Amino acid sequence: MMTTALILVDIQNDYFEGGAWPVAKMAQAAENAARLLKHARETGQLVVHIRHEGRPTSPFFRPGTEGAEIHTSVAPSAGEAVVLKHRPNSFQGTDLQNILQGAGVERVILCGAQSQMCIDATTRAAVDMGYETIVAEDACGAKEAQFGGVTVPAEMVHAAFMSPLAMSYAKVVTTDQVLNG
């Protein structure tokens, strides 16, 4: 049986309504992430929480703020790893790879935010490192984006990033598919 880890990326207070950088449908994504977390705990999967911190002048995830803390819906339990990162790729400059290797992990399930930043970067890195990679897309949140005077709605940003991940990198599925699968 393949050793699996659930990696919860940046499910932090600033991304929720009332936070410094709200992400569309983050509460729904977190509900699905919480279902994945419950399942991982029940089945003995390795659980790794990723927490991003910016600079003191960053618009969100400022060090030492409530907004930079992991949301209570997916709060770490005793013994679960919490990896602090400062870049979109959860492997860069962290001990995530050592944690996964030390546990003999071969497959990772990713969820969190933002689809177009840290989920994309972490998914690509995980695949490049040889992990079978699954993205629970409905447990991920995206934020609207602007470019060239055009505002792209969050739903379209999410689809624009999930589609190439599904085409060439990872198995992109729903939470229900992960849980039933």
* Active site members: 118
Residue 144 amino acid letter: E
Q: What torsion do the CA atoms of 130, 96, 102, 110 make, to the nearest 10 degrees?
A: -60
Q: CA 62 → CA 52, 168, 177, distances in Å?
A: 9, 34, 35
CA–CA distance, 47 with 62 (Å, rounded to integer)? 24
Structure tokens, 36: 């994945």
DSSP state of 71: P
Give the position of tokens 């994504």. Answer: 29
**Vertex 149: Cα angle to 143 and 151 (nearest 5):** 25
* Cis status of the peptide bond prior to 92, with omega within 30 of 0: no
CA–CA distance, 61 with 10 (Å, rounded to integer)? 9
